[in-house]
Amino acid sequence: MINVLFSAAPARWDQYNAALRTAFKNASLDVNLSREFEDPKDVDYLVIAPNGPITDFSPFTNAKAALNLWAGVESLMPNPTLTMPLARMVDSGLSEGMREYVCGHALRYHLEMDNFICAKGTEWRYQVPPLARHRTVGILGLGELGSACAQALTGLGFNTLGWSRTPKEIANVKCYSGTEGLAELLSQTEILVLLLPLTAQTENVINAETLAMLPKGARIINPGRGALIDDDALLAALNTGHIAHATLDVFRVEPLPSDHPYWHCDNVTITPHNASETRADTSSEIIADNIRRSEAGEPLRFLVDRSAGY
DSSP label at residue 88: -
41-45: long-range pairs with CB below 8 Å, 24+:
42/3, 43/3, 43/4, 43/5, 44/2, 44/3, 44/4, 45/2, 45/3, 45/4, 45/5, 45/291, 45/294
Spot the catalytic one: 99, 105, 225, 245: 225
pTM of the model: 0.91
**Residue 177 near residue 165 (C-beta atoms within 8 A):** yes
User: How big is the CA angle at 56 (ends 38 and 288), to the nearest 5 degrees?
Assistant: 70
d(CA 48, CA 118): 42
**Residue 194 near residue 140 (C-beta atoms within 8 A):** yes
Query: pLDDT of 84-127, one tens digit each?
Result: 999 999 999 999 999 999 999 999 999 999 988 887 788 888 88
- Examine the residue annotation and report whether 125 is marked as an active-site residue of this protein: no
Beta bridge pairs of residue 218: 243
**Residue 192 near residue 229 (C-beta atoms within 8 A):** no
DSSP conformation letters of 235-288: HHHHHHTSEEEEEE---SSSSPPTT-GGGG-TTEEE--S-S----HHHHHHHHH
**Residue 213 near residue 180 (C-beta atoms within 8 A):** no
| Per-residue pLDDT in tens (0 to 9) along the chain, 310 residues | 999 999 999 999 999 999 999 999 999 999 999 999 999 999 999 999 999 999 999 999 999 999 999 998 999 999 999 999 999 999 999 999 999 999 999 999 999 999 888 877 888 888 899 999 999 999 999 999 999 999 999 999 999 999 999 999 999 999 999 999 999 999 999 999 999 999 999 999 999 999 999 999 999 999 999 999 999 999 999 999 999 999 999 999 999 999 999 999 999 999 999 999 889 999 999 999 999 999 999 999 999 998 888 8
Buried b (16+ CB within 10 A) or exposed e, 139-156: bbbbbbbbbbbbbbbbee
Instruction: Give the DSSP H or E segment for 163.
Output: strand 159-164
d(CA 148, CA 167): 17
d(CA 113, CA 89): 34
Spot the catalytic one: 273, 279, 292, 293: 273
**Residue 51 near residue 76 (C-beta atoms within 8 A):** no
d(CA 186, CA 30): 51
DSSP label at residue 166: S
Cis peptide before 255, with omega less than 30 degrees from 0? yes
Domains of the chain: 2-91+278-295 (3.40.50.720), 92-270 (3.40.50.720)
Judging by beta carbons within 10 Å of its beta carbon (0-12, 13-18, 19+), is residue 255 exposed, middle or buried?
A: exposed
- Examine the residue annotation and report whether 225 is marked as an active-site residue of this protein: yes
